[in-house]
Amino acid sequence: MQISSKNHWDLLAALAGILFTLAFSPFDYPYLAPLALSLLFASWQNTTPRRALLRGYLFGLGSFGLGVSWVYISIHDFGGAHWLSSGLLTVLFFGFWALFPALAGYFSVKILTGNRTLISVWVMPIVWLLIEYFRGNCLLNGFPWLQSAYSQLDTPLAGYIPIIGVYGTGFLVALTASSVAFIFQTRRHRLLLTTFIITLWATGSVLQSIKWTHAIGKPVQVSLIQGNITQDQKWRPENKLKTLQLYKELTEAHWDSAVVIWPETSIPAYLSEVNDWFLQPLSNAAQQHNTDLIVSLPAHGNSTDEKYNAVMTLGKETGLYRKKHLLPFGEYLPWQPVSGFILNSLAIKLGNFTPGDIDQPLLKAGGYSFITSICYEDAFGDADLTGLPDAAYLVNVTNDGWFGNSIEPHQHLQMARMRAVETGRFMLRATNTGVTAVIAPDGKIISQAPLFTATVLTETITPMAGMTPYANRGDTPFIIVLLILLFGFLVYGRLSPITSI
């Protein structure tokens, strides 16, 4: 049976979605990202908005269906839900996020409507990135997973990251893809567009040699503890003392480090429950050894109903950071009371935390201030700019134990690498089960611990000062430029008959 041209492009769009996810960690085939997007953009040429909507959705199903499949592990293995309800919620989850590539297809074709000029090379990438920005920042507190630029940390396009950040670099990925699609579909302006692509990527390679920030002070020795306490054991009351003793012993073996970092909620008890008999003696011991500790635990606010996911410094400097950017359906329940009713019906019990204040003072350890992020917070570029230029390095504590031996910990590490490049600072990432890592200002991994192993990662980092162009401006100016360009193309756009592929 012969497959129609329409069905051929529909299937190709779904395949392109799978290829797109293979560009990210742990697969790490970065050049598949522009290839996948070029196939998607080609499928949107000469078709109707509704067909482009369908193809964008099929792309999203392929991409998110593979890329966020780890949600099932979190819901079923650690959330305690039945396999059937876990599977249903997982399908609903990636099916929902697949709507965003679909919207990108619909609006791109709606704006272009038969336009075969060079304008079409720009419109699709602009719409793609604006939709990515909306998905990553606006809806449900933002879900920036599988954004185009994260796949490019080891390609020449990484040279643009300190200048225009994750969204600007993602736009260049999409612009490359759109140019390739235009070349092969219209066979016009081949020389111009080929020269443009080569120049774009060659410039990125040159930009990688520029150092936007500089070292200050002496190198600092740091130790990152990976306790490897599995999620199903972590909060059992009978394991609390054993867990605290493990972290205490691993810390005492590294008093020669200036900074020792524990992962997210490494202390399985509220601050008020362990402060007097455990934390204060530990803080005194750290001060005697001239070491600063960075630990993580939940903390109550003014009432027992007010709960924070927090990071605390002990030793010479004491302070408390309260997580600002909470994870929807993990640390708080949006769309109440509907979401709470559904999850309770499925016997899924999740946390209900309070977000910390936006403007919190920087914590200090090892003689320098640092920017703190807890778990999901390192997925947001703007969040790591608040403490600059005062912060000398970045610290992320996380617990990817919720996702078992899946692709999620590798994807999350890739996002942490992006924050290091955007700010031009070392990133110290301490995790419960992995991947614990020390990341250089250029995004390269200096060292990392193996997954699911109790270990301590010790390295030397250099405190950094200065500001990258991106750190000075953030995402907003670039997004405004894209909106202005899109408005200009809308005004200039032509209304001509459309033909379906």
Show Cβ contacts of residue 229 under 8 Å, excluding neighbours closer than 6 positions: 239, 243, 246, 266, 268, 401, 432, 433
- Output the six-digit token pair for 372: 């703190």
Helix axes 190-207, 161-186, angle to 10 degrees: 160
Local structure of 465: helix, strand or coil: strand
Burial readout 4-41 (b: 16 or more C-beta within 10 A, e: otherwise) = eeeeebbebbbebbbbbbbbbbebeebebbbbbbbbbb
Q: How far is CA 237 from CA 240, 242, 353, in A?
A: 5, 10, 21
Structure tokens at 455: 């270990």
DSSP state of 4: P
CA dihedral 272, 228, 395, 255 (to 10 degrees): 80
The two beta strands, 368-374 and 393-398, are parallel
DSSP-derived secondary structure letter, 2: P
Place of tokens 């590490």: 413
Contact 384, 373 (CB under 8 A): yes
CA neighbor of 439 nearest in space, from 398, 395, 379, 492: 395
Distant-in-sequence, close-in-space partners of 174: CB < 8 Å, separation ≥ 6 = 34, 37, 41, 124, 125, 128, 129, 148
Which residues are catalytically annotated? 264, 323, 375
Query: Is 362 within 8 Å of 391 (Cβ atoms)?
Result: yes
| Total Cβ atoms within 10 A of residue 198 | 10
The DSSP secondary structure of 251-277, one letter per residue, reads HHTTTTSSEEE--TT-S-S-HHHHIII
Residue 293, helix vs strand vs coil: strand
CA distances from 331 to 64, 90, 103, 301, 355 (A): 22, 18, 28, 16, 9
Tokens 């390609």 -> residue? 155
Q: Give Rg (Cα) of the chain.
A: 24
